[in-house]
């Protein structure tokens, strides 16, 4: 799904179950199949992320001025390789995350060869989206393109315009995924978290989030991950995912696309602000 839909609006991305093998990814013309999925965190133990991240920057503040300046400066990236990566990163869901982090992990990840990770990232997506969406409803910060002129890397559809910006749902999800994968493959922690950072910056490049939205998403994600570590079911699945990933890497799993890896490495090496 694209930016402004489940992950970055007020609904939960867990309904986006990976499409069957051979079909097009959600957001590319084929709708995802809806299915009820629960997260790992008990529904009655919702994280108070809004109190943790604090209010969004106020009008006239230095942070808000910096956010606007960064939005305007990154409009110049339209049409380049970094813009193309941001557009690719706008596709949301567990299957997209497996693809997005394949280069960082060092092996091509798919739902077929990493079913435990696929299931985990689906459920983690529920927890991350719940934390972000509750905070969005508290602060109700408009997205940058609503108040500032400039192109964005996805369609300005009504649902995106109506949805809120702070914190970034994509950033919350991707940083949580990064922490999960770094735990599962600690020898690749630099590459994985570098990719997670660049993924969050893609939301700024795309023009659908301010820099401070992305930073708040990382804080929210850190809280989500710590809460997940207290859940026995999550820890059990993480141990299984760690073993499955090690086996895939040790048996010479398929290599990620080299050109795509170069693009992602370049993004991780050079921040957009």
Which of 143, 188, 197, 203 does the annotation list as catalytic? 203
**Whose structure tokens read 């949580």?**
176
Q: Active site includes 170? A: yes
**Catalytic: 195?**
no
168, 105 in Cβ contact below 8 A? no
Q: Is 72 designated active site?
A: no
The catalytic residue among 170, 188, 195, 218 is 170
**Is there a catalytic annotation at residue 213?**
yes
From the candidates 141, 143, 197, 209, give the one annotated as an active-site residue.
209
Q: What angle do CA 49, 182, 271 make, to 5 degrees?
A: 75
DSSP-derived secondary structure for 123-184: HHHHHHHHHHHHHHHHH-PPPHHHHS----SS---HHHHHS--SS-HHHHHHHHHHHHHHHH
Which run of H or of E encompasses 190? helix 189-206
Rounded Cα–Cα distance for residues 120 and 180 (Å): 9
Kindly name the residue from 100, 118, 183, 213 that is annotated as catalytic: 213
C-alpha to C-alpha distance for 181 and 184, rounded to whole angstroms:
5
Q: Would you name the residues annotated as active-site residues?
A: 170, 203, 209, 213
């Amino acid at each position: 799904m694209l930016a402004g839909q489940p992950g970055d609006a007020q609904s939960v991305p867990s309904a986006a179950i990976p499409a069957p093998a051979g079909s097009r990814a959600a957001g590319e013309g084929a709708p995802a199949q809806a299915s009820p999925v629960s997260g790992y965190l008990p529904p009655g133990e919702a994280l108070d992320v809004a109190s943790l991240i604090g209010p969004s920057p106020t009008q006239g503040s230095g942070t808000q001025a910096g956010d606007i300046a960064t939005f305007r400066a990154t409009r110049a990236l339209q049409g380049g390789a970094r813009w193309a990566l941001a557009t690719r990163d706008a596709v949301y869901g567990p299957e997209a995350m497996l693809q997005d982090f394949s280069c960082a992990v060092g092996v091509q990840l798919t739902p077929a060869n990493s079913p435990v990770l696929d299931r985990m990232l689906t459920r983690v997506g529920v927890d991350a989206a719940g934390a972000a969406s509750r905070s969005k409803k508290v602060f109700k910060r408009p997205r940058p393109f609503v108040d500032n002129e400039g192109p964005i890397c996805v369609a300005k559809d009504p649902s995106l315009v109506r949805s809120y910006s702070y914190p970034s749902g994509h950033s919350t999800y991707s940083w949580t995924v990064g922490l999960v994968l770094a735990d599962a493959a600690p020898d690749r922690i630099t590459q994985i978290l570098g990719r997670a950072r660049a993924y969050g910056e893609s939301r700024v490049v795309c023009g659908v989030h301010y820099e401070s939205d992305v930073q708040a998403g990382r804080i929210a994600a850190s809280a989500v991950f710590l809460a997940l570590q207290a859940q026995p079911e999550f820890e059990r699945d993480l141990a299984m995912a760690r073993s499955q990933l090690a086996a895939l890497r040790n048996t010479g799993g398929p290599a990620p696309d080299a050109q795509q890896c170069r693009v992602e490495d370049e993004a991780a090496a050079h921040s957009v602000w």
